[in-house]
């Protein structure tokens, strides 16, 4: 079945470091891909999305490119801030039945 | 524009008691989801509605869980009776039809003691 696999955390970085959180997926058809973020004590918020191959989603300095050939949607940021500390979820929405499937999440800690 | 509204935010009940959660989706969103999120895990789908029809309830434990979405707007999720293992965050989300993102509410944190 369709699934999302993302790197396990926690990931701990110093402020201004480069961030990559890996995400790969398995899906039939042509899914849309998403990154959601969950800040402490808050609900899930959409961070960015891409709806077709080679699309790049971006928001708040974060980027991810929909790579169909490698079935990946890795999240990157060039210079992280303490305020980026949160849990990040990779997700896909299947094109066949509109189901939204999440990865297990990656906890990110940014040290000042 | 108001987001997805859930209530209550927190609920503590004794095992074997019933509990209900309520969700008001974003106006105009025909798709509504209920997800379960255990600590340290990603959300897992319980049930998905298209308008008032439950189109995917394959992951809903139907012996104790039930849900309804009357008139295709608000929805309630019920557990009866609750078990200790039901302690989790219950998330409601809504989206427009098609390949778009889902918007989530704050969730209801259930603790069964």
Taking the C-alpha atoms of residue A80 and residue B6, their distance in angstroms, rounded to an integer, is: 32
* CA dihedral sign of residues A57, A78, A10, A68: positive
Compare all CA atoms of chain B with the CA of A103 and give the residue at the minimum distance. Answer: B42
Structure tokens at B104: 């989530």
- Find which of A97, A98, A104 to mutate to test the B interface (most B CBs within 10 Å of its CB): A98
| B101 compared with B76, residue with greater pLDDT | B76
Q: Give per-residue pLDDT as tens, B28-81.
A: 999 999 999 998 899 999 999 999 999 999 999 999 999 999 888 999 999 999
Predicted pLDDT at A63: 98
Counting beta carbons within 10 angstroms of the beta carbon of residue A7, is it exposed (0 to 12), middle (13 to 18) or buried (19 or more)? middle
Contact B42 A98 (CB under 8 A): no
Contacting residues of B for A51, CB less than 8 Å apart: 99
Contact A102 B42 (CB under 8 A): yes
Taking the C-alpha atoms of residue A10 and residue B4, their distance in angstroms, rounded to an integer, is: 29
Compare all CA atoms of chain A with the CA of B37 and give the residue at the minimum distance. Answer: A104
Predicted pLDDT at B96: 87
Contacting residues of B for A44, CB less than 8 Å apart: 43, 91, 93, 104
Provide the residue-wise pLDDT of chain A in tens; the chain has 112 residues: 899 999 988 999 999 999 999 999 999 888 999 999 999 888 899 999 999 999 999 999 999 999 999 999 999 999 999 999 999 999 999 888 788 999 999 999 999 9
- Find which of B43, B46, B50, B109 to mutate to test the A interface (most A CBs within 10 Å of its CB): B43
Residue B97 clears pLDDT 80, i.e. is over it: no
Phi first, then psi: give them for residue A104, nearest 5 degrees.
-80, -10
């Amino acid at each position: 079945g369709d699934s999302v696999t993302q790197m396990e955390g926690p990931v701990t970085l110093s402020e201004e470091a480069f961030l990559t959180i890996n995400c790969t997926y398995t899906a039939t058809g042509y899914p849309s891909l998403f990154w959601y973020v969950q800040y402490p004590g808050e609900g899930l918020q959409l961070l960015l999305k891409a709806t077709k191959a080679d699309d790049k989603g971006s928001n708040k300095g974060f980027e991810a490119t929909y790579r169909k050939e490698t079935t990946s949607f890795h999240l990157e940021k060039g210079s992280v801030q303490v305020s980026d500390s949160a849990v990040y979820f990779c997700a896909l929405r299947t094109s066949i039945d509109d189901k939204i499937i999440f990865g297990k999440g990656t906890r990110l800690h940014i040290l000042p | 524009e108001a987001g997805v509204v859930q209530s209550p935010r927190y609920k503590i009940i004794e095992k074997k008691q019933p509990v209900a959660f309520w969700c008001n989706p974003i106006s105009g969103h025909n798709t509504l989801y209920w997800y379960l999120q255990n600590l340290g895990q990603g959300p897992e789908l319980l049930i998905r509605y298209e308008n008032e029809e439950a189109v995917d309830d394959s992951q809903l434990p139907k012996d104790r869980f039930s849900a309804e979405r009357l008139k295709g707007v608000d929805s309630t999720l019920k557990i009866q009776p609750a078990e200790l293992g039901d302690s989790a965050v219950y998330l409601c989300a809504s989206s427009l039809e098609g390949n778009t993102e889902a918007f989530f509410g704050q969730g209801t944190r259930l603790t069964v003691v």
